[in-house]
Amino acid sequence: MNIRFLKIAQIELDSAIEYYNIERSGLGYEFLWEVFSAIDKIKEFPEAWQIFDPTTRRILIRRFPYGLIYSIQDDLILIMAVANLHRGPDYWAKRTNKNI
């Protein structure tokens, strides 16, 4: 399966990496490693993670208060949000694949 990020989700990922690297040198790259690990799990078992609605799921990021919100579209997994779990729970809900 292919993985793509909405532009806004990529911005969220980049911002989180930058934030964590400011907090402690290298911590942002540890966060990125955990995101890659979650993506590998999604690729292996795309339908195994928490269902938000019929087309949207979430996997939690180990060690960090984030989740990847994604949808499965044929052979594509679309990451819709790199969601900080301390934000409003559905702030990303109006995002669509038109914003790729």
Number of domains into which the chain is organized: 1
**Domain interval for residue 42:** 2-86
Query: What's the CATH number where 19 sits?
Result: 3.30.2310.20
For the chain, what is the mean pLDDT?
Answer: 90
98 domain-assigned: no
100 domain-assigned: no
What is the distance between the alpha carbons of residues 59 and 49, in angstroms, rounded to a whole number?
A: 6
pTM: predicted TM-score of the whole model, two decimal places: 0.88
pLDDT digits (tens), the chain, 100 positions:
899 999 999 999 999 999 999 999 999 999 999 999 999 999 999 999 999 878 899 999 999 999 999 999 889 999 999 999 887 666 666 665 555 5
Cβ(58)–Cβ(67) below 8 Å: yes
Q: Residue-wise over 43-71: b if at least 16 C-beta within 10 A, else e?
A: eeeeeebeebeeebbbbbbeebebbbbbb
What is the distance between the alpha carbons of residues 35 and 1, in angstroms, rounded to a whole number?
A: 17
36 domain-assigned: yes
What is the distance between the alpha carbons of residues 20 and 31, in angstroms, rounded to a whole number?
A: 8
